[in-house]
Amino acid sequence: MSATTFEELKIKSQHKLIKDSEVTCKLLAKLKDGYLVDINDEWEGTVPNNHLGQNGEETHIGDLFQAMVISGPDKSDRYVVSNRTLKEKAVWEKLEKLKADSHSLKVTIAKVIKGGVEIFIEGVRAFLPGRYIRLPGVSQENWVNQEIEVLIEELDYKEKKIILNQKKALDVEKQKRAEVAIHRLNEGDIVEAPVLRIADFGIFVDLGGLDGLVPASELSWGRFNHPRDVVKVGQIIQARIFRIEKENLRVALSVKQLLGDPWEQIENEFQTGTEVTGKVISSASFGFFVELKPGVEGLLHISEIPEDKEKPKVGSVITTKLIKIDTEQKKIGLSLRGIEHKQKEQVSEDNQNETVQVVESSVLNEQNNSENNATEQSAEAQS
């Protein structure tokens, strides 16, 4: 071996390529199982099939490209390099930064598989579990090609594992919209908003990026069994904001406050001694509660029901006498006693009228019969 050749080999051995390092390659020839390349004008290497170019990129003899050292050198002093792996590493680095910054990214669903969906991010495979998918109104057979926003739930380069989360991305986006929306609102504002959903404890309305709660107690002055008896999903309601918790992104509203307290004008609408009609809404051991108007109830105490009168039933509409009004305590007392006496008097008067009518009718009938007999006798005498 000449001195020059020895020196060249010595220098070359000092410049051995490091695994996972990036190198510049020149495409020399197509091989059976890949490609022959020149690396950094110093080494020969091979690129396995499917590791040259990506996403349909075309390459030609003489082209220069960047690649990553996978292994080597082998017995032939060649390295194995990959253009695809280098590009994938760049994608992983990008994903690592997105995860560290809690930033979302837009992706397209490629395939529905067991347990979730498969997604490719610039050629790198990722998995979105079904429990993290939120596609309301879209059937599973139509998930493919849906573009969605996701956050990176888990990232492991060694295991080549990427887990995505759409649900969390939607929650974060909703949080951002809520933070903007809540600063537009003030306590005392009157708003119109559609009903989003109904719960046992109240209803939620859309305040333009923020959900507001109307507690069941603030829906109506009248009684009801469930909020769904008062409103429906999609219905537009008007309400007043009475509490805002900016740190918790909570807004509480009231429909009742816009309607006014029905007790404020109670003395103008109801007077002691007058008859009132209402619906029996509940019963207790001491009497019955009668709704006279939404938000105004009266108590028909058991002592105000005559013994010979049948007790009212819940759900029935009855007429009672108003015997007491206490606006401070918001209490009304009712009675059936006066109503019972009046009903008896009315029945007695009706019976008397019927008797008079019968007597008058009998007298008229006798007069008509006498007249008819006299007429018949006169006619016989003339004949």
Closest by alpha carbon to 5, among 75, 79, 13? 13
Write down the mean pLDDT value for the chain.
86
Indicate the range of 41-55, 74-88, 190-204, 337-351 predicted with least confidence.
337-351
**Residue located via tokens 């107690």:** 217
Tokens of 125: 């495979």
Amino acid 93: pLDDT: 94
Whether residue 363 has pLDDT greater than 70: no
What residue type is 124 in one-letter code?
Answer: V
C-alpha torsion 232→237→239→245, nearest 10: 60
**Bigger pLDDT: 54 or 10?**
54
- Which domains, from first to last, does the chain contain? 17-87 (2.40.50.140), 102-171 (2.40.50.140), 187-259 (2.40.50.140), 266-339 (2.40.50.140)
State the pLDDT confidence band at 6, using cuts at 50, 70 and 90. Answer: low
Integer CA distances (angstroms), 18 to 30, 73, 79, in order: 25, 10, 10
User: What are the start-end ranges of the H helices in the chain?
Assistant: 3-14, 83-100, 166-182, 256-259, 266-269, 337-382
Nearest to 252 by CA among 217, 224, 225, 228: 217
Close Cβ partners of 157 (under 8 Å, ≥ 6 residues apart): 92, 96
Closest CA to 68 of 57, 52, 55: 52
Identity at 265, one-letter amino acid code: Q
Category of 320 on φ-ψ map: left (φ > 0), alpha (ψ -120 to 50) or beta:
beta
CB-based contact 341:327 (threshold 8 Å): no
What is the reported pLDDT for 264?
Answer: 86
Q: Residue 12 has what pLDDT?
A: 53
- Please identify which residue in the block is written with the tokens 């008797």: 355
Helix (H) or strand (E) holding 121: strand 116-121
- Which residue, among 178, 177, 207, has the nearest Cα to 190 in the 3D structure? 207
- pLDDT band for position 345 (50/70/90)? very low
Return the minimum-mean-pLDDT range out of 2-11, 262-271, 307-316: 2-11
The pLDDT of residue 378 is 42
Q: Which of 55-64, 257-266, 313-322, 371-380 has the lowest mean pLDDT?
A: 371-380
Percent of the chain at pLDDT > 90 equals 69
Q: What is the band of 8 on the pLDDT scale with cuts at 50, 70, 90?
A: low
What span, in angstroms and rounded, lies between the C-alpha atoms of 214 and 194? 12
| pLDDT at residue number 24 | 94
Residue 80 confidence (pLDDT) = 96
What pLDDT, on a 0 to 100 scale, did the predictor assign at position 267?
85
- Per-residue buried b or exposed e for 53-62, using 16+ beta carbons within 10 Å of the residue's own CB: eeeeeeeeee
* Cα distance between residue 206 and residue 358, in whole Å: 71
User: Distance (Å, rounded) from C-alpha 29 to C-alpha 44?
Assistant: 11
| pLDDT band of 162, cuts 50, 70, 90 | very high
Q: How far apart are CA 2 and CA 224, in angstroms?
A: 104
- Report d(CA 69, CA 42) in Å as an integer: 14
Give helix then strand counts, H and E, for the chain.
Answer: 6, 20
* pLDDT tens, residue by residue, 125-155: 999 999 999 999 999 999 999 999 999 999 9
pTM to 2 decimals? 0.60
CB atoms inside a 10 Å sphere around CB 367: 10
46-76: pLDDT as tens digits: 999 888 876 556 788 999 999 999 998 888 8
Alpha carbon distance, N-terminus to C-terminus of the chain: 178
pLDDT tens across 255-297, in order? 999 988 888 888 888 999 999 999 999 999 999 999 999 889 9
105 touches 91 (CB < 8 A): no
